[in-house]
Structure 1
Amino acid sequence: MSQALQRRAVFAYALILLAAFALRLWNLGAQSLWHDEGWSLYPAYTLLGPMGIRGMDVNAPPLFNISIGLWLRLAGDAIWTVRFWSLLTGMIGVALGMGLARRWFGVQAGILAGIFLAFSPILWVFAQEIRAYIPMPIYTVLLLSLAAQFLAPRQAQVSRSAWLWLFGVTLAALWSHNLSVPLVAWLNLSVVLGLLLRRAWRRLRGWFLLQSALFVLYLPWLLTQRPTGTPLNTPPALNFELLWQIWQSYFTGIKALVGADALLMALCALFGAVAVLSIARALWRARSARLWTLLSAVLLLPVFQLLIILAAHIDFHPRYFLLSAPPTLILIAAGLALPSRNALVLSLRFAAPLIATAIMARMAWLTYSAPIYQHDDFLGMARYYATHSERDAIVIPYGWEPSLDYYQEKLDIRAPFVEVPIHSDAERIRTQLAEALEGKASAELFTWYQLPADMRGAFPCLLSAVGVWESQLTLSGVRTDRYRLTGDVRALAAPKLPPTRLSFALPDNADLDARPYAFLHSQGAESACLLLDLSAESAPLQYDWRLAVRLLRADGSLYAARDADLRDDRQRTATAQRDSYSFHATAFLALPIPPDSEPLLLSAWLYTPEKRSAAHLLGT
């Protein structure tokens, strides 16, 4: 290549990096810090502190969070500043991907790959978040480069530095994010199969020794991990629609945008057609060890990432397919850059960058067109809470909200947080509320829609038993309900009622015990909270059973009606007990209190929503 062409290429690379930097800098601090970012930010304060609340994230390896900690000690902990570290990390990934494409497939491939990576929506999204996802494309590109060296003909010598780089990069990936597991799985499967086909036995022995050492060093973290999914999660179904969703993931990065916009989907489909033609052309014209290595990443990484989703029993999200986006874009660039005089190929070479840019523009416009595509508005909620005094309390029904904790200091929120651990039993909830709310004028019940922490309605039931609901504020993804405390909150810790058994006749000679647990009410409150302790042995629980309670006047007329699911804290019966007939739950029922202390009769029925006819009301 002549010096003039080299200068033009360098100028093109610099221009691409500048465009990538400008795009990632745009609106960097516009969105609120949100829950998951808070879990990445707090470990940065403690560095190697204990795992758990206000410490190291129990579900994320610490390496990237430690790097954030070092950065904020230099630059401060403002949200824009901390996200700038993610931006810089993302820029390294773009530069490495562009460099790999240029080194493997030539200057034009490097330029095309650079454009695709610079304007990749999923890379843009995570370059603007304080999350450990963003270094993963760096490790993917580096391991691609290293894998090709190990798959070279066995006559070629693998340098000592390559072995050291492989060890260091893989270990760093393993201790940065759990997505390293599918990355290392792809790496081992591809390289081991390649070495077996080449019969490179000596290299294979060294490979197994190195991977064994890495496993030993990763084991301390691995032993701390447990599946994070719950029965409330819905893993994706294995069908053709899932393939389309995975492809859209590369061009959204935001779950709510997958399938949300017809124009964006059309652009993704158009780029998909270009991708198929380009990859087919690369396989037809430029088969090589490097190309096969790249293709293995394109095909296998989504498979292993999907297996992680299914094994953990978690919902589909574009972020889990971040690893396979860079190899896919590089492979598309490689196919488009192959020499050709065909008019269609030449037109695609110019059209593909335009389509990629249009996808990025449309996706960015959509992101800021509606709050549903943005971070949940914890900042707006924190500003509202900052208007409260020490006589108010903020109830968090899932223990700890790191983003509100961050804003508590920044915005001087004076109202204390009442952090009730998620899925606490009835005794823990009412005792903690009774202690924390004593002397308070009001309580704010915080709700984050992404975390269903109060499936039983325990907190509204208990708070309405000692107060009056006044108002509700709903922002993007979050809500707060204000209760004016009018009664004696010590009523929440009232002793349990004497054990009284209410028997519900069920089919197959089974029954369900319903024992009144507590009846909570304070003078001036708008309702009473009835707690029923429910248990069943050998009951047919293949349906989602519900409890219906009716308050009847002396003349038999209906005064009030309340229904509640039977839950063991978050799971309904059909979900929780697929392999068992036993069940235990506490039902919370908020019952209106007549102003004139009129005596009422309480009737209860057990029924299933699947069979709505009155004939299936099973007991009174």
Structure 2
Amino acid sequence: MPRMKSFRPRQRALLIALLLLAFALRLHRLGADSLWYDEGVSALLAAKPLPAMWAHTAGDIHPPLYYALLHLWTGLAGRSEFALAFLSLWFGMAALPLAAQIGRRLYGPSAGLLAAFLVAISPFAIWYAQEVRMYTLGSFLLLLLLALSLALLRRPRPRPALFVGIALLAALALWTLYYSAFALLALNLFLIPWLFWRAQARLWPWLLAQAAALALYLPWLPIALRQAFDPPVPPWRDPLPWRDLLLQAAREGSVALAYGQTLDPAQWQPLAALILLAALASWRSRARAATALLWMASLGPLALILAASLLFTPLYHVRYLSLYAAAFPILLAAGLLHLARSARGRWLSLLIGLLLLAGSTLSLRNYYGDRFAYEAADDLRGAVRLIYDRIGPGEALLIDAGYLYPAFLYDWPGEIAWLGRLSDLDQAPAPDAGLIVALAGHVDGDPGIGWGDPASDFYAISRAETAARLTDLFARHHTLWLLRGYDTVNDPQGFIRDWLADHGQLLHDQVFPGQSFIRVQAWRTTQTPRRALPAQVQPLVQEFSGGIRLLGYLRDPAAPPLRLTLFWQRRGAIDRDWKVFVQLLSAQQEVIAQDDASPLRGLYPTSRWQPGEIVESTFILRLPAPPPPGSGPFSLITGFYDEGSGARLPLAAGGDAVQLEVWEGR
């Protein structure tokens, strides 16, 4: 961490103010949105014991350092979305004074402070400082490694501690994210020739430091090589023609560096290009070698990723540029200050600064206001909440793609009787044991997916076995809920979607905000009405005058919230669509909590019930803070009413509400 005394007192005060600004921008709405899939994986792995986390990560596609740190952090701070994301915020904040110090040493105090300001307001940096992933940790380690590499250029006789630090940071970066290797390769492509021609005495210590970093990485290296050359996951991206790939990278990359990821690259690329040109003015500084190294650290890894994508397998994604972007604000600060040295350039520098500030403000407004409209943000929390609120006893859940389950587990507030592969459905307990969650595999996928490991999150399954297991699910459960996300990767031909459409009756279909089009569906698995109650139902027979009989109820003991499933049967003519009310009343008949809805949340109105059919629907009562003393005992009641007039459906024996339970406490 840079020392604050490198700036004058007023400059230190300004730097502290910039730190507070950066902290406020990164703290705003931290943890407010749902975790998306990758963040759910982070939360799942952080919750595991360290040996189990190591084993799980070995079958995934990332190294374990970040997950280990997150495990230790959540042990202190908890597992809320806010706590999980705060670790990323911390490393994002740590990069700001480091960038300020690099800028000060190379280009002067004004450049250091301007670089700090640019980091503080950067939408690109703010995005990943709020994401529960390893990008800010990797970026901070690489920026610190860059600072030591710059020191190597300046010092004729560097101390051995400098090379020890270089070795440790390079190893830690590799233990954090595989894409750090592109940054290390870019540094070596620059420094090895430079040291060979300018400072051969420093070349061998540099090479020894690289060898030491590799030695520190050896315990994980066999796993990394296997994951790189034989990945256990299905293919995520299709290769692009070289022109399309380069054009996409130029557009996305330039706009991301300048404005983040919430502005349209096609519209904002001209302004982003102008900002890049301003940064190129940094070449006019006296620190030519250091400036060249900064540019190599910023754009060299991207060039290597693009080359690997064209020659081997698709690797490019704009998010990985965030790893290497920390040096760009330093270059931009140097370029803007160089332009400002002349009268004409001063106005140009001011104009570019205002354009940058305006675009960043708009980008942050988009990010804070509607993150779901942009890449890597999905309302999985809302999808899981919908399933929890509506799924009933004896119903099952299928997750497709199955590897989406970490995000589901993070948001699921209830108990799960069994969660496993669809191919292992024969190991699931009986439906009355509780919620059964089946994870779909890669339909007709490569048998090598997941390396054949039965514990892997990824596995291949044939169409025939998928159909057989879906048939088993339909035979065991009268309703099957489907949580869809990334299923076009797992099931590119849509076999599961088509099978459900051919064999089931769609009861519910809802798409949630986000770029992955997370979707929740409910399928009735049988065409014949239910005629018998589940064994665990508490019987309570009450006749309503409108042809409806209440048969019983089932209350989930794992409250709050209070989760109640009601069972009715059609016994005569039903002349309208009645709405159900469920209320928790105090001794003074005040409503403590209430949930009103048509059966199955409007999916199966009472006028469509078949004679003798048993219908069930689940209701959620979100209980407030403990009521004041003396407000109990509490009564749980239910009934029907006409939504238009508000008139309740009377009971045949008198009254208009059925008392289900009475208890003293919550």
* 1:329 corresponding residue in structure 2: 329
1:12/1:216 Cα in 2 relative to 1: closer, same or farther (>3 Å)? same
Alignment match, 1:158: 158
- Judged with a 3 Å threshold, the aligned counterparts in structure 2 of structure 1 residues 411 and 306 are, in CA distance, closer, same or farther, namely farther
Gaps of 5+ in 2: 418-433, 444-460, 529-666
Q: Report SS of the residue matched to 1:417.
A: strand
Asked if 1 retains the 8 angstrom alpha-carbon contact of 2:111 and 2:333, the reply is: yes
Residue 16 of structure 2 corresponds to 14
What is the letter of the counterpart of residue 144 of structure 2? L
Output the aligned Cα RMSD.
3.0
- Which sits farther off after the overlay, 61-70 or 428-437? 428-437
Correspondence 1:259 to 2:265: yes
**What one-letter code is carried by the residue in structure 2 that aligns with 1:269?**
P
Q: How many residues align?
A: 476
- Per the TM alignment, residue 472 of structure 1 is displaced from its structure 2 partner at its CA by 0.9
- Residue 420 (str. 1) matches residue 440 (str. 2): yes
1:406 aligned partner:
410
Q: 2:238 aligns with which of 233, 236, 239?
A: 233
With over 3 angstroms needed to count, the CA separation of the structure-2 counterparts of 1:20 and 1:269, relative to structure 1, is farther
Indicate conservation of the 8 Å contact 1:98/1:111, yes or no. Answer: yes
Shift of 1:92: 0.6
Q: 1:437 & 1:406 partners in 2: Cα distance?
A: 27
Question: Shift of residue 342 of structure 1?
Answer: 1.5
Shift of 1:309: 4.2
Residue 243 of structure 1 pairs with residue 250 of structure 2 = yes
Q: Contact 1:42–1:55 at 8 Å: present in 2 too? A: no
Q: Does residue 1:462 correspond to 2:499, yes or no?
A: yes
For residues 110-509 of structure 1, the aligned pairs below 5 Å read 110-152=112-154, 156-198=156-198, 200=200, 202-218=201-217, 219-225=221-227, 226-227=230-231, 230=235, 233-235=238-240, 237-238=242-243, 239-240=246-247, 242-254=249-261, 257-259=263-265, 262=267, 265=268, 269-280=270-281, 282-310=282-310, 313-314=313-314, 316-338=316-338, 341-367=341-367, 368-369=369-370, 371-373=372-374, 375-387=377-389, 388-401=391-404, 402-409=406-413, 415-423=435-443, 424-449=461-486, 451-476=488-513, 477-486=517-526
Report how far residue 84 of structure 1 moved.
Answer: 1.3
**Is the contact made by 1:385 and 1:415 (CA closer than 8 Å) also made in structure 2?**
no
Query: Relative to structure 1, is the Cα distance of residues 468 and 384 closer, same or farther in structure 2, using a 3 angstrom cutoff?
Result: same
Contact 1:230/1:313, CA 8 A, preserved across alignment: no
Instruction: Report the Cα distance in structure 1 between the residues aligned to 2:257 and 2:339, rounded to whole angstroms.
Output: 27
Structure 1: which amino acid aligns with 2:525? L
Q: Post-superposition shift, 1:333? A: 0.8
Seq. identity, %: 26
Go from structure 1 to structure 2 and tell me whether the alpha carbon gap of 1:13 and 1:232 turns closer, same or farther (over 3 Å shift).
closer
Alpha carbons of structure 1 residues 140 and 468: separation in structure 2 relative to 1, 3 Å: same
- In the superposition, relative to structure 1, how do residues 487 and 57 fare at CA in structure 2: closer, same or farther (>3 Å)? same
Aligned-partner residue type, residue 397 of structure 1: D
Change (3 A) 1:119 1:56: farther
Separation of aligned partners in 2, 1:271 and 1:396 = 41
Does structure 2 conserve the Cα–Cα contact (< 8 Å) formed by 1:235 and 1:315?
no
Counterpart of 2:73, as a letter, is W
1:78 corresponding residue in structure 2: 80
Return the offset for 1:325.
2.0
Secondary structure at 2:135's aligned position in 1? coil
User: Which amino acid in the other structure matches residue 365 of structure 1?
Assistant: R
d(CA) in 2 for partners of 1:376, 1:72? 23
Q: Distance in 1 between matches of 2:493 and 2:487?
A: 16
User: What is the SS of the residue equivalent to 2:511?
Assistant: strand
Letter of the 1:392 partner, please give it.
Answer: E
Matches of 1:140 and 1:22, distance apart in 2: 24
Residue type at the aligned position of 1:250: L
Q: Partners in 2 of 1:313 and 1:5 — Cα distance?
A: 46
Contact 1:235/1:316 (8 A) holds in 2: no
State the alpha-carbon separation in 2 of the partners of residues 8 and 289 from structure 1: 30
Distance 1:33 1:241, change over 3 A: closer
SS of 2:136's partner is coil
| Partner secondary structure for residue 147 of structure 2 | helix
Sort the Cα spacing of 1:182 and 1:5 in 2 relative to 1 into closer, same or farther, 3 A: closer
Does the Cα contact within 8 Å between 1:89 and 1:127 map onto a contact in 2? yes
Give the whole-Å Cα distance in 1 for the aligned partners of 2:526 and 2:509: 18
Q: Which runs of 5+ in 1 are unaligned?
A: 489-620
Deviation by residue 1:581-608 (Cα, 9 ceiling, x = unmatched)? xxxxxxxxxxxxxxxxxxxxxxxxxxxx
Corresponding residue SS for 2:412: helix
Name the SS of the counterpart of 2:85 in structure 1. helix
Q: TM-score, normalised by structure 2?
A: 0.66
Q: In structure 2, what is the Cα distance between the partners aligned to 1:92 and 1:345?
A: 32
Note if contact 2:385-2:412 (Cα within 8 Å) is conserved in structure 1: no
2:89 matched residue in structure 1: 87
Q: State the shift of 1:120 in Å.
A: 1.2
Counterpart Cα distance in 1 of 2:198 and 2:149: 14
Shift of 1:117: 0.9
Q: State the secondary structure of the residue aligned to 1:168.
A: helix
Distance 1:464 1:5, change over 3 A: closer
| 8 Å contact kept, 1:397–1:446 | yes
Q: Deviations over 1:419-474 (max 9, x none)?
A: 12223202331343344444312112222147532223322343345432223111
Pairwise CA distance, 1:277: 3.8
Q: CA deviation at 1:215?
A: 2.5
Residues 35 and 404 from structure 1, CA distance in 2 versus in 1: closer, same or farther, beyond 3 angstroms?
A: same
Rounded to whole Å, the distance in 2 between the matches of 1:373 and 1:53 is 33
State the 1:257 CA deviation.
4.2
Answer whether contact 2:384 2:412 (CA < 8 A) is retained: yes
Decide whether the 8 Å contact of 1:43 with 1:49 is kept in 2: no
Q: How far off its partner does 1:237 sit?
A: 3.2
State whether residues 120 and 251 of structure 1, in contact with CA within 8 Å, keep that contact through their aligned partners in structure 2. yes
Distance 1:438 1:27, change over 3 A: same
Distance 1:160-1:69 versus aligned 2 partners, 3 A rule: same
Alignment-mate amino acid for residue 447 of structure 1: R
Q: Aligned with 2:323: secondary structure?
A: coil
Which residue type is aligned with residue 248 of structure 1? V
Q: CA deviation at 1:249?
A: 2.3
Deviations 1:386-422 (A, max 9, x none): 0212321111132232111111247989643111222
- Structure 1 residue 341: deviation in Å? 4.5
Contact 1:94 1:117 in 2 (8 A): yes
1:46 CA drift (Å): 1.7
TM-score, normalising length: structure 1 = 0.70
SS across alignment from 1:129: coil
SS at match of 1:482: strand
